[in-house]
Amino acid sequence: MDLDAERDLVRRAQTEPEAFGEVFDMHYDRILAYVLKRTGDVDVSTDIAAEVFAKALKNIRWFTWRGIPLAAWLFRIAGNELRMHYRKQKYVPASLNRLMELGYDPDEASLVEERRSLEELLADSHDEKRVLEALSTLSMPEQDLIALRYFEGLKTKDIAHMLKKPEGTVRSMLSRTIEELRKIYDASTQQKTGKSIIGSEGRSGLLLQIKKL
């Protein structure tokens, strides 16, 4: 969907629950996959993804269109929910009744299929799991940068808008974070295998591994 069409959809969604259902259908799978790669837990991820859209539904009336894809706003909400999850012993989502009114009430067969698909997504290769393990050692802001740029392919200008920072600052932060992640990954690889796998490929090799996720 181009930005003009998305702007019109957002304007309709601000007053029409049915239009928000279109937003949900368009972005739910992507948000769910993003959260799943951050938590590695199917049940927690489905709770968080649903909560993202419950809060989006509640707050979209105050959303101001600035020419930035709506996905950037949804990912920001998802990032906040992830922080809440990691701060709490147990994640307790708020009421999702409004989402259920919009049709988020899948039957048993749909739930089984969704869970199977998510578990397949988690069955990554050994190298990809090590990338995720290395990523988990970074700070939450650093994890957000990597996930938004390389998992989801958001443009640096969109990330800068989300973080309310200059685009050049975001580029520098990404560069430093990638280098830190490369060192952590390489050290972990050497410890577990006795040899450096990604060190010979350097930064580009790590980025290839990240983009596979």
Largest Cα separation within the chain, whole Å, is 59
124 or 30: which leads in pLDDT: 30
- Full 3-state SS string of 8-54: HHHHHHCCCHHHHHHHHHHHHHHHHHHHHHHHCCHHHHHHHHHHHHH
157 or 106: which leads in pLDDT: 157
The residues near 132 (Cβ < 8 Å, ≥ 6 apart) are 37, 40, 124, 213
CB 66 within 8 A of CB 158: no
User: What pLDDT, on a 0 to 100 scale, did the predictor assign at position 65?
Assistant: 86
188 or 141: which leads in pLDDT: 141
DSSP SS3 for 164: coil
Q: Could you give the percent of the chain with pLDDT greater than 90?
A: 7
In the chain, % helix, strand, coil (3-state, to 5) comes to: 75, 0, 25
Short-list 72, 66, 76, 61, CA closest to 12: 61
User: What pLDDT, on a 0 to 100 scale, did the predictor assign at position 110?
Assistant: 52
Angstrom distance (rounded) from CA 14 to CA 19: 8
> Which architecture, in CATH terms, is 124-213?
Orthogonal Bundle (1.10)
Q: What is the residue-averaged pLDDT of the chain?
A: 75
Region 20-35 average pLDDT: 88
Categorise residue 202: left if φ over 0, alpha if ψ from -120 to 50, beta otherwise: left
Structural domain boundaries in the chain: 1-123, 124-213
40 or 63: which leads in pLDDT: 63
pLDDT band for position 207 (cuts 50, 70, 90): low
- Full 3-state SS string of 186-210: HHHHHHHHCCCCCCCCHHHHHHHHH
